[in-house]
C-alpha cells in the first residue's frame, strides 16, 4: 500500500477520467447490446460472455461460474502488489416482459468502465492493488449475491462498489430486507358441479392466505411490505383445484424484524391450510438483507461525484426496494449509490424507465457513474489513510 501526495493523486485522477472518457463509445455499444437482448435472472449468458470478453481483451484474468451460478464471473487484474483488493460489482439481468426497466444494462457497463479505466492507470504507473470485476447475476429474482457471499467470493475484498440507476442521484438510498416465500397448497380434485363435496379446494387455501395477510397488515410496523401473486390457481373451471400456489415477497426495514414478520406470514398460510383442510408446503426462494452503505466510502464517492454534478441527495425517505447488495454490505465495506437517468417521478420497473435506460441521458449518467466509481477506487489504492478509515468504520458498525 502507498500514499501519494495530494498533487500526485489529483494528477492520477485526471488520467483516470481521461481513460474512462476514451471508453465512452464502446460503453454505449455494450450497454445498447445488452439492452436490446434482455435476459432474465440466471439466464444472462450473452451478457456474461460480452462483459467477460471485453475484460479479457483488456488483460483481466477471466473466470466464468461462481458459487453454483453459471452466469456469474470474476475477472481480475493485479498491480505491483495484490492489495488492496477493490471489487466492482456488475448487474446485468433484466425483467420479464419489461426488459431492462431497472437499468442494469447501464449499471453493469458503468462498473466495466470503472474497472478498465482504473486498470489502465494502475498498470501505467505500476501501482498496487487487485481489481476484481465481479459479475453478480440474478439480482431481480434470486438474490445471486447471497450465495456468492456465503461461498466466500467476497473474502479478502477491501471495498465493493457499484452504482444503480434511478430518477434522482442519491448517496444513501433506502433498501430494506426481503424474503421470498412460496406457499404450495394441495387438496383433492373432484367434479366442481357433480361432486363438489368430494373435493378439497387448494385454491381456497391460497385465497384465505391472502385474506389472513390482509388482516395482518394493520399490526406490523411502518415500512413493512407484503405483496404476492397466485402462480397456480387450478387447471379448469369445472374441476375443484387439487393444487394451488402463491408467491409473496415480505420486506422490512431491518433483517431482525423481517424474521418476525416472516414467521407471522407463515402462520397466515398455516391457518389457511387448517381452515380449508388442505396440505401446505412452504419454500423460501429468495432473501436479502437491508443495505448499509459504508459512511467513509459514501463520503469519498460523493466528493468524486461532485466533480460532475451538484444535484446530489444524501438519502431518501421513501423505500426504494430491496437488493442483494445488502448482504454484501454486511460482509465487506460497500456502497450502492443511485444515479439519475430520467425525470423525477419515473419509477423503476416501468416501460418509461426501460426507455430511459437506452437514452442519451442514460448513457451520460453511465459515464458519470463509471468515472466516480473509478476515482473512488483509485483513492483507496493511493491513500492508505482513507482505506484505513473505511476499514475502521466497517469494523465499528459490524
The domain that holds 262 is classified in CATH as: 3.30.70.360
pLDDT at 170: 97
Cis bond upstream, residue 382 (ω within 30): no
pLDDT at 169: 97
CATH label of the domain that carries residue 25: 3.40.630.10
* Domain boundary pick from 272, 288, 304: 288
pLDDT at 2: 80
Q: Do residues 167 and 343 lie in contact, with contact meaning Cβ atoms separated by under 8 Å?
A: yes
Residues 86 and 104 in one domain: yes
Residues 149 and 165 in one domain: yes
Residues 25 and 115 in one domain: yes
Question: What is the domain range of residue 92?
Answer: 6-174+291-397
Task: Tell me, yes or no, whether 1 lies in a domain.
Answer: no
pLDDT at 4: 87
**C-alpha to C-alpha distances, 373 to 203, 261, 331, 340, 347, nearest whole angstrom:** 49, 36, 20, 15, 24
Residues 181 and 71 in one domain: no
Task: Tell me, yes or no, whether 322 lies in a domain.
Answer: yes
Residues 166 and 193 in one domain: no
Task: Tell me, yes or no, whether 221 lies in a domain.
Answer: yes
* Among 300, 221, 301, 287, residue whose Cα is nearest residue 250: 287
- Mean pLDDT in order along the chain per 10 residues (398 residues): 87 98 98 98 98 98 98 98 97 97 98 98 97 97 96 98 97 96 98 96 98 97 96 96 98 95 98 98 94 96 92 90 96 98 97 98 98 98 96 92
Residues 111 and 226 in one domain: no
Output DSSP code: residue 95. Answer: B
Q: Do residues 326 and 258 lie in contact, with contact meaning Cβ atoms separated by under 8 Å?
A: no
Residues 219 and 309 in one domain: no
Phi, psi at 265, each rounded to 5°:
-65, -40
**C-alpha to C-alpha distances, 355 to 32, 95, 98, 348, 351, nearest whole angstrom:** 11, 13, 10, 11, 6
H-run or E-run covering 313: strand 313-315
* Domain boundary pick from 232, 265, 288: 288
Number of structural domains the chain divides into: 2
Q: Do residues 327 and 288 lie in contact, with contact meaning Cβ atoms separated by under 8 Å?
A: yes
Q: For residues 259 and 357, give the distance between their C-alpha atoms in angstroms, rounded to a whole number.
A: 35
* Domain boundary pick from 288, 303, 325: 288
> CA geometry: angle at 248 spanning 276 and 168, to 5°?
155
pLDDT at 398: 78
Q: Do residues 285 and 184 lie in contact, with contact meaning Cβ atoms separated by under 8 Å?
A: no
Residues 199 and 301 in one domain: no
Residues 26 and 155 in one domain: yes
Residues 393 and 282 in one domain: no
Q: For residues 89 and 382, give the distance between their C-alpha atoms in angstroms, rounded to a whole number.
A: 21
Amino acid at each position: 500500500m502507498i500514499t501519494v501526495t495530494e498533487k500526485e493523486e489529483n494528477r492520477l485522477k485526471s488520467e483516470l477520467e481521461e481513460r474512462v472518457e476514451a471508453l465512452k463509445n464502446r460503453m454505449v455499444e455494450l450497454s445498447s447490446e445488452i439492452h436490446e437482448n434482455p435476459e432474465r435472472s440466471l439466464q444472462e449468458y450473452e451478457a456474461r460472455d460480452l462483459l467477460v470478453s471485453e475484460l479479457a481483451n483488456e488483460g483481466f484474468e477471466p473466470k466464468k461460474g461462481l458459487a453454483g451460478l453459471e452466469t456469474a464471473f470474476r475477472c481480475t487484474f493485479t498491480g505491483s502488489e495484490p492489495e488492496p483488493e477493490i471489487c466492482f460489482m456488475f448487474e446485468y439481468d433484466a425483467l420479464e416482459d419489461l426488459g431492462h426497466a431497472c437499468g442494469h444494462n447501464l449499471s453493469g457497463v458503468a462498473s466495466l468502465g470503472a474497472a478498465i479505466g482504473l486498470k489502465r492507470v494502475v498498470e501505467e504507473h505500476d501501482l498496487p492493488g487487485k481489481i476484481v470485476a465481479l459479475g453478480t447475476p440474478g439480482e431481480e429474482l434470486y438474490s445471486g449475491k447471497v450465495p456468492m457471499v456465503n461461498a466466500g467470493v467476497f473474502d479478502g475484498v477491501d471495498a465493493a462498489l457499484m452504482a444503480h440507476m434511478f430518477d434522482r442521484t442519491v448517496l444513501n438510498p433506502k433498501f430494506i430486507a426481503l424474503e421470498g416465500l412460496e406457499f404450495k397448497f394441495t387438496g383433492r380434485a373432484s367434479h366442481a358441479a357433480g361432486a363438489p363435496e368430494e373435493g378439497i379446494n387448494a385454491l381456497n387455501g391460497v385465497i384465505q392466505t391472502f385474506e389472513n395477510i390482509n388482516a395482518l397488515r394493520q399490526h406490523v410496523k411502518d415500512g413493512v411490505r407484503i405483496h404476492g401473486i397466485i402462480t397456480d390457481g387450478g387447471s379448469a373451471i369445472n374441476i375443484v383445484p387439487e393444487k394451488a400456489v402463491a408467491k409473496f415477497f415480505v420486506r422490512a426495514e431491518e433483517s431482525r424484524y423481517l424474521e418476525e414478520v416472516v414467521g407471522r406470514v407463515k402462520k397466515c398460510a398455516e391457518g389457511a391450510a387448517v381452515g380449508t383442510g388442505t396440505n401446505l408446503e412452504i419454500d423460501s426462494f429468495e432473501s436479502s438483507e437491508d443495505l448499509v452503505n459504508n459512511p467513509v466510502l459514501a463520503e469519498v464517492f460523493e466528493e468524486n461525484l461532485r466533480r460532475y454534478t451538484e444535484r446530489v441527495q444524501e438519502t431518501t425517505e421513501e423505500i426504494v426496494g430491496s437488493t442483494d447488495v445488502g448482504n454484501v454490505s454486511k460482509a465487506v465495506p460497500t456502497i450502492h449509490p443511485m444515479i439519475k437517468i430520467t425525470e423525477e417521478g419515473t419509477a423503476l420497473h416501468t416501460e418509461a424507465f426501460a426507455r430511459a435506460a437506452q437514452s442519451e441521458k442514460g448513457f451520460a449518467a453511465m459515464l458519470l457513474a463509471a468515472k466516480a466509481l473509478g476515482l473512488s477506487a483509485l483513492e483507496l489504492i493511493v491513500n492508505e489513510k482513507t482505506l484505513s478509515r473505511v476499514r475502521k468504520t466497517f469494523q465499528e458498525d459490524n
